[in-house]
Chains A and B, each alone.
Chain A
Amino acid sequence: GAVVSQHPSWVICKSGTSVKIECRSLDFQATTMFWYRQFPKQSLMLMATSNEGSKATYEQGVEKDKFLINHASLTLSTLTVTSAHPEDSSFYICSAREGEGISYNEQFFGPGTRLTVL
Chain B
Amino acid sequence: DQQVKQNSPSLSVQEGRISILNCDYTNSMFDYFLWYKKYPAEGPTFLISISSIKDKNEDGRFTVFLNKSAKHLSLHIVPSQPGDSAVYFCAASRAGNNRKLIWGLGTSLAVNP
> How many residues on chain B are close to A (CB under 8 Å)?
21
Chain A's interface size range is 20 to 34
Expressed in whole angstroms, the minimum distance between the Cβ of B75 and any Cβ of chain A is 15
Chain A at the B interface: SS class: strand
Instruction: Among B32, B34, B41, B100, point to the contact of A112 (Cβ < 8 A).
Output: B41
Task: Flag if A43 contacts B42 (CB, 8 Å).
Answer: no
Task: Flag if A57 contacts B98 (CB, 8 Å).
Answer: yes
A60 within 8 A of B: no
Instruction: Among A49, A104, A108, point to the contact of B46 (Cβ < 8 A).
Output: A108
B44 within 8 A of A: yes
Instruction: Among A6, A42, A51, A114, point to the contact of B98 (Cβ < 8 A).
Output: A51
Task: Flag if B100 contacts A44 (CB, 8 Å).
Answer: no
Contacts of B106 on A, CB cut-off 8 Å?
43
Expressed in whole angstroms, the minimum distance between the Cβ of B90 and any Cβ of chain A is 10
Chain A residues in the interface with B (C-beta under 8 A) = 2, 4, 6, 32, 34, 42-44, 46, 49, 51, 57, 91, 93-95, 97, 104-112, 114
Chain B residues in the interface with A (C-beta under 8 A) = 32, 34, 36, 41-46, 49, 51, 89, 93, 98-101, 103-106
